[in-house]
């Protein structure tokens, strides 16, 4: 069925749209799923616009994807579908680069090989690029259920990302909602080529974005984050996370002089500018002094934990390094527990609170604390955690009634010490 908004069906496509090469990347994908992607692409793309389909096999070991795939596409789509095979596993970005090298159309679209294309998907994407060759365009994405292959329609949304660099849906900007035109394009905050999201890009811009991204570091950091085609990666991020001590600082990430020269040549703006002007919904944590797991000298195998989300009570729990045990201590004196609320569309982590009455600490939304002093603490590495409002210390006591026999309490300081994993400012170790 045609799932497009009604106005999209009423708007005629522009004349003279550029052709597109579509690149699919796969590793050991089911042959039936790959062919579903190709069939839906060919059936729902005007033939004058579809220059070629490029299947990049990133060194699959499934025998069905060798001869059977080659034989089928050569008979069904002679001259239209090309198969590129990597002799070794290259990973997502380098596999996409192999497809880009083969592509001959002025626009290249990159997709995973488990998608289904809807009616009229290509024309509006190509029209956006025809209007401005600097654009990177993302079609609206619906979901395919893994158990039934049923297509589920998703509401229109923009794309953003979290501080963990995970792609996420976010509400469209208010100016788009105010227009009341569901067929209008939504300005997106980013595109993360490492994600499952498809991207359609002018060919001459795609290469410089991904060329030679073969340096070291975590795999998800191999891929530059882009705002349209303008942000050129995470440039000048120091003002956002000042004096952050990188993990494994001794890793040799190679010669990046070419990337720095590209940044200068394209006159890239800073990442701070990007956050302020393109992605203002992203929360920043510039005042962070320290973060990570917090342990007590009396129970070193247990960490401060946010506990159940609906309980609003901090607990001690065996250390596991997951987000519920992420503690952030700010220059203001806030102790926040739990995962960061990366954008203003998500709730932020809660504040540890001493209300002066209860013997155990509470967790509350920072903005909901009636007396701000109740949420402020003094904390130094290997020292006590002291409420600025009451002077009471956050400490641990043995208790048969508590989980794991340990309870968090607020009491007169007895000399217990706390340590946190990461200090950002020097001289605080």
Q: pLDDT tens across 46-73, in order?
A: 999 999 999 999 999 999 999 999 999 9
pLDDT(228) > 90: no
Structure confidence by residue, pLDDT tens digits, 237-284? 333 444 444 455 556 678 889 988 998 998 998 888 988 888 888 888
Distance CA 311, CA 303 (A): 17
Per-residue exposure over 90-121, b if at least 16 CB sit within 10 Å of its own CB, e if not: bbbbbbbbbbbebbebbbbbbbbbbbbbbbbb
pLDDT of residue 189: 57
Distance CA 215, CA 237 (A): 19
Residue 147: partners with Cβ closer than 8 Å, 6 or more residues away = none
Position with higher pLDDT, 393 vs 311: 393
Mean pLDDT of the 200-228 span: 36
Distance CA 415, CA 266 (A): 56
Q: 122, 126, 88: which is closest to 107 by C-alpha?
A: 126
Q: What is the DSSP string of 61-88?
A: --GGGTHHHHHHHHHHSTTTEEEEE-SS
Q: 70, 44, 48, 47: which is closest to 57 by C-alpha?
A: 70
Contact 120, 46 (CB under 8 A): no
pLDDT(427) > 70: no
pLDDT averaged over the chain? 83
Q: What is the largest CA-CA distance in the chain?
A: 81
pLDDT(151) > 90: no
pLDDT of residue 219: 27
**DSSP reduced 3-state for 330:** strand
pTM for the full predicted model: 0.70
- As given in the structure block, the two tokens for residue 339 are 């995962």
Strand partners, 302: 318
- Between the ranges 264-273, 302-311, 408-417, where is the mean pLDDT highest? 408-417
Mean pLDDT of the 402-423 span: 93
Mean pLDDT of the 377-398 span: 96
* Cα distances (angstroms) measured from residue 134 to each of 57, 357, 365: 29, 59, 41
Contact 351, 375 (CB under 8 A): yes
Q: 64, 88, 40, 61: which is closest to 198 by C-alpha?
A: 40
Residue whose tokens read 């000042």: 242
Q: Which domains does the chain have, with CATH numbers?
A: 6-211 (3.90.550.10), 288-423 (2.80.10.50)
Mean pLDDT of the 371-386 span: 96
- As given in the structure block, the two tokens for residue 107 are 């626009």
Strand partners, 55: 24, 83
Cα angle: 230, vertex 231, 233; to 5 degrees: 135
pLDDT of residue 418: 97
- Between the ranges 108-122, 234-248, 362-376, where is the mean pLDDT highest? 362-376
Residue whose tokens read 């340990």: 406
pLDDT(202) > 80: no
Position with higher pLDDT, 400 vs 225: 400
Structure confidence by residue, pLDDT tens digits, 283-299? 888 899 999 999 999 99
205 band by pLDDT with thresholds 50, 70 and 90: very low
Structure confidence by residue, pLDDT tens digits, 24-43? 999 999 999 999 999 999 99
Position with higher pLDDT, 226 vs 406: 406
Position with higher pLDDT, 169 vs 250: 169
201 band by pLDDT with thresholds 50, 70 and 90: low
H helices present in 132-230, as ranges: 174-179, 203-210
pLDDT(232) > 80: no
Cα angle: 305, vertex 306, 312; to 5 degrees: 145
């Amino acid at each position: 069925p045609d799932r497009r908004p009604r106005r999209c069906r009423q708007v005629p496509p522009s004349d003279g749209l550029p052709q597109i090469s579509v690149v699919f990347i796969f590793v050991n994908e089911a042959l039936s799923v790959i062919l579903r992607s190709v069939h839906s692409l060919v059936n729902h793309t005007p033939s004058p616009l579809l220059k070629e389909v490029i299947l990049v096999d990133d060194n699959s070991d499934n025998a069905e994807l060798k001869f059977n795939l080659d034989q089928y596409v050569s008979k069904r789509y002679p001259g239209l579908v090309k198969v590129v095979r990597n002799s070794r596993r290259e990973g997502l970005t380098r596999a996409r680069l192999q497809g880009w090298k083969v592509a001959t159309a002025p626009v290249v679209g990159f997709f995973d090989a488990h998608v289904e294309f809807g009616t009229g998907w290509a024309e509006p994407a190509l029209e956006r690029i025809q209007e401005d060759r600097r654009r990177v365009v993302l079609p609206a994405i619906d979901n395919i259920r893994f158990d039934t292959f049923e297509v589920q329609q998703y509401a229109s949304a923009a794309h953003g990302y979290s501080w963990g660099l995970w792609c996420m849906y976010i509400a469209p900007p208010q100016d788009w909602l105010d227009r009341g035109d569901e067929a209008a394009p939504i300005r997106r905050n980013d595109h993360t080529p490492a994600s499952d999201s498809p991207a359609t890009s002018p060919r001459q811009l795609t290469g410089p974005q991904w060329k030679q991204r073969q340096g070291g570091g975590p795999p998800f950091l191999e891929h530059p984050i882009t705002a349209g085609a303008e942000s050129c990666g995470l440039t000048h991020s120091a003002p956002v996370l000042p004096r952050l001590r990188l993990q494994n600082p001794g890793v040799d990430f190679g010669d990046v002089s070419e990337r720095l020269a590209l940044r200068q040549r394209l006159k890239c703006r800073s990442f701070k500018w990007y956050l302020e002007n393109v992605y203002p919904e992203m929360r920043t944590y510039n005042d962070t002094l320290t973060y990570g797991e917090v342990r007590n000298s009396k129970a070193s195998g247990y960490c401060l934990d946010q506990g159940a989300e609906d309980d609003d009570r901090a607990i001690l729990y065996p250390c596991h390094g997951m987000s519920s045990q992420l503690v952030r201590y700010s220059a203001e004196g806030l102790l926040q527990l739990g995962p960061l609320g990366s954008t203003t569309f998500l709730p932020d982590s809660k504040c540890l609170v001493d209300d002066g009455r209860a013997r155990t600490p509470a967790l509350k939304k920072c903005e909901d604390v009636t007396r701000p002093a109740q949420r402020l603490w003094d904390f130094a590495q290997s020292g006590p955690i002291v409420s600025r409002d009451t002077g009471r210390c956050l400490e641990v006591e043995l208790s048969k009634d508590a989980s794991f026999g340990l309870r968090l309490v607020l009491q007169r300081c007895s000399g217990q010490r706390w340590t946190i994993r990461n200090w950002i400012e020097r001289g605080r170790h």
